[in-house]
Structure 1
Amino acid sequence: MHTVTSHPDSAPIRILIGCDTFAPDVNGAARFAERLAAGLVRRGHEVHVAAPSKKHRLGGAFLETIEGEQMTVYRLPSWRWYPHDWLRFVLPWRARHYARKVLDQVRPDVIHIQSHIVIGRALAHEGAKRGIRVVATNHVMPENVFDFTLLPERAKRLFVRWGWRDADRVLRRAAAITTPTRRAADFLERNTYRRGVLPVSCGLRASDYTAVVGPREQHKLVFVGRVTLEKEIDVIIRALLRLDPALNASFTIVGDGDQRKNLEKLVAELGLTDRVHFTGRVSDEALRGYLTDASVFVIASIAELQSIATMEAMASGLPIVAADAMALPHLVQHGENGYLFQPGNDRELAEAVTHVLTAQPEEYERMQHASLEAVQSHDIDRTLDTFESLYRGTPVA
């Protein structure tokens, strides 16, 4: 049995990160896992990743460059989940077999799972049997998972309850459990028997983003993220129609997803084709450019456990208009770095955006500075420090 309980503070750690979504996927959980893995490599640790393959016949260990750092990624044979535009999954009845093979090759000191769905579940089960320390980070709400099924609403509600019980059965194998915010940790504790869940920000390096402080000549709204149902981008589009035409405001949607065609149809129906721009998937450099060039970042999502995109917008010096839902109020202080609105209320959203776009120059700059200051507490180095402590089994500062 390969048992590890603690490490000297300076000793490199062999870490296996288990992900049900990873590059080239574009979503918060995947982005966090990529930054975490790359950051740990930069600190001298040996990092391995277990993640779905790009095709169901593709499997094996590959040397991949993630966030500028090389690491070994074990791509497990996976299949496309067709109700979703990109999601892939490993066959559950094969997952433990793959987990055993990866564990035999890596022999990690610690396993860090990013979800309890398939790969994380298998690694947690097989790792616990071998006495390997397991750290779990929860990025998953069963409510979101079942949005991508074809089940009727009543069945979805039943499966959501089952989903939380199932999550509890996996997470109990972890020596430490984290989730991105205090609000998300409280939500997890309310729905499971787990206690002592630690809020650990996904983190980012603010210096990677460019903030231009000062009023804008053009009024540009921007959203960055997956174009999916729970993001409620249609609410933003309807709010755009409510804005004073004299503002001449435009809206750019940076990202792609299964709802794009429906939203393009809505934009055409509302006569907003010349004011709403869909970029599709873009490079990180292009994404940062859209943020720097915008006037305000708008997010109507009702299911954010943190929202890396919102933090990126803050690091770009943008005022934020966000739904008062889940973890977004953790990032947006109403009246300070932006405004909160009632979820789904496009009238309130339009009023909040108008406040930002018509603010006096000194007020607009005050909101910009408030975003830049608030994002400093989400520095990636603080996140890495915390996980190193959890991996070693030492007290978290």
Structure 2
Amino acid sequence: MKILFYFGGFAPIGGIETFCKNLLCYLQSRNYDCQLVCWGPNSSLLQSIEQAKVKIVRNPWQWGCRWNLPDWLLLPLGIQQIKQSNIVLFGKLFPVEILKRLKSQIGKSTKFVYITPYQPLPPTTTPEKNQLLEALNLFDLILVQASAFTEDLHQIGYQGRVEVISYIPQQPSNLKPLPANEQLRIGFLGRLVEDKNIPLLLETFRCFQEKYLQTSIADNKQKQKPSLHLFGDGHLREQLEQLTQNLGIASSVVFHGSIPNNEVENAIASCHLFAFTSRTEGQCLAALEILGCGRPIVATNVGALPDILSDARLGRIVKSTNANEFADRLMEIAKLIEQQSISPDTIRSAYLERYAPENLGDRYEKIFNSLSPMNS
């Protein structure tokens, strides 16, 4: 079976890009004929895909173009590859005109599959809804990461086949213990962009730091100030650095910048717990990577995070955007860590019950085989 991942813009780092790498490498290892069609700069992620013997057809066009010009320039390359494919995966929703042109080139046995990168949101106007529904109806299957996403698709009007399945995370390496230093270290892993709502994270950390030091006084224990470590970069970094000054927490917040893919696990292991204050999310592959490394998470009630953290052994969900309430949940996890009531071993064990990469890979394989006429 030939499987084509028609990706579009492939960023050097990102959750959907990492998932693409994990999925294609798994399928290639299972003797499927896999290809990737994309545009964008070369990167370590693309190189790791090539090393797995996955063929890459890439337009080197860079970022910053309007009117979907890179996607249109990619179209001739995509049409050449799509004609020989049995299954075509899409990691983003292209303009309906592009999807129609691609669909017109395939045979009757070729299936279109859309893998949602974010929670589907209903459009605000009837024309927008009709256009979105027209695009969604071009797919034979839509894969979502949480059951709530299925309800969103039904609200939009999509009545086709939907399957709920998590992204495939990377196979975690040897489990590392919690940092031995006495200072509690809270981490964040992701891009410094609006959707991640880092201002709320910084305000939450300020509240948490106050509560944490107050308990130190109440318990007659001398505790160091906790620190916050942000792994990732983005256009809001300078603004966020200024906000740490305004909040009086600059000395306790470290901006580490972008972390190479091969150093992510070490970055995760350097912290005791992680926090996500996102406004919107899809799967949040970073959360799976963190749990695979045995670190708990406190997160907002968005995207697939409620499903991921429905097991209390893995962390806490905060249903409001109140910094004080979020800080209270961080305090709960910090206390459990201090009491040694949770550990990297227990977190990884609970995580692997649902998110073992090999089990998820097997599920993807069964889903894709179910689309093939030879297996129906």
TM-score by length of 1: 0.79
Aligned match for 2:159, one of 177, 194, 197 = 194
**Does residue 136 of the first structure (1) align with residue 114 of the second (2)?**
yes
Alpha-carbon deviation of 1:186? Answer: 2.5
User: In structure 2, what is the Cα distance between the partners aligned to 1:331 and 1:197?
Assistant: 19
Question: What CA deviation, in whole Å up to 9, does each residue of 1:338-374 have, x standing for no partner?
Answer: 2222342111111111222233644542686145413
Q: Which residue of 2 aligns with 1:53?
A: 40
Paired residue type of 1:181: A
Residue pair 2:313, 2:342 contacting (<8 A) in 1 also = no
User: In structure 1, what is the Cα distance between the partners aligned to 2:95 and 2:244?
Assistant: 37
* CA spacing shift, 1:227–1:375, aligned 2, 3 Å: farther
User: In structure 2, what is the Cα distance between the partners aligned to 1:205 and 1:54?
Assistant: 23
User: In structure 2, what is the Cα distance between the partners aligned to 1:363 and 1:381?
Assistant: 30
**Does residue 76 of the first structure (1) align with residue 59 of the second (2)?**
yes
Question: What CA deviation, in whole Å up to 9, does each residue of 1:285-321 have, x standing for no partner?
Answer: 3221121121111011121122111111111111211
User: In structure 2, what is the Cα distance between the partners aligned to 1:50 and 1:123?
Assistant: 16
User: In structure 2, what is the Cα distance between the partners aligned to 1:240 and 1:102?
Assistant: 49
- List alignment gaps of at least 5 residues for structure 2: 214-222
User: In structure 1, what is the Cα distance between the partners aligned to 2:65 and 2:347?
Assistant: 42
User: In structure 1, what is the Cα distance between the partners aligned to 2:50 and 2:184?
Assistant: 32
Aligned match for 1:36, one of 23, 30, 34 = 23
Alpha-carbon deviation of 1:284? Answer: 2.2
Residue pair 1:323, 1:340 contacting (<8 A) in 2 also = yes
Q: Which residue of 1 aligns with 2:190?
A: 225
Paired residue type of 2:317: L
* CA spacing shift, 1:271–1:285, aligned 2, 3 Å: same
Paired residue type of 1:341: V
User: In structure 2, what is the Cα distance between the partners aligned to 1:207 and 1:334?
Assistant: 19
TM-score by length of 2: 0.83
Residue pair 1:50, 1:73 contacting (<8 A) in 2 also = yes
Q: Which residue of 2 aligns with 1:20?
A: 8
Q: Which residue of 2 aligns with 1:352?
A: 329
Residue 183 of structure 2 aligns to a residue whose secondary structure is coil
Aligned alpha-carbon RMSD (Å): 3.2
Q: Which residue of 1 aligns with 2:273?
A: 296
* CA spacing shift, 1:286–1:182, aligned 2, 3 Å: same
Q: Which residue of 2 aligns with 1:99?
A: 78
Residue pair 2:175, 2:344 contacting (<8 A) in 1 also = no
Q: Greater CA deviation, 307-316 or 354-363?
A: 354-363
Residue 359 of structure 2 aligns to a residue whose secondary structure is helix
Q: Which residue of 1 aligns with 2:205?
A: 240
User: In structure 1, what is the Cα distance between the partners aligned to 2:133 and 2:123?
Assistant: 17
User: In structure 2, what is the Cα distance between the partners aligned to 1:346 and 1:383?
Assistant: 35
Residue 221 of structure 1 aligns to a residue whose secondary structure is strand
**Does residue 173 of the first structure (1) align with residue 160 of the second (2)?**
no
Q: Which residue of 2 aligns with 1:66?
A: 49
* CA spacing shift, 1:251–1:286, aligned 2, 3 Å: same
User: In structure 1, what is the Cα distance between the partners aligned to 2:190 and 2:263?
Assistant: 13
Which residues of 2 match residues 246-395 of structure 1 at below 5 A? 246-333=223-310, 335-359=312-336, 361-365=338-342, 369-370=346-347, 372-393=349-370
Q: Percent identity?
A: 18
User: In structure 2, what is the Cα distance between the partners aligned to 1:209 and 1:139?
Assistant: 29
Alpha-carbon deviation of 1:283? Answer: 1.4
- List alignment gaps of at least 5 residues for structure 1: 1-12, 56-62, 144-155
Question: What CA deviation, in whole Å up to 9, does each residue of 1:255-283 have, x standing for no partner?
Answer: 11122122111112222222111111111
Alpha-carbon deviation of 1:232? Answer: 0.9
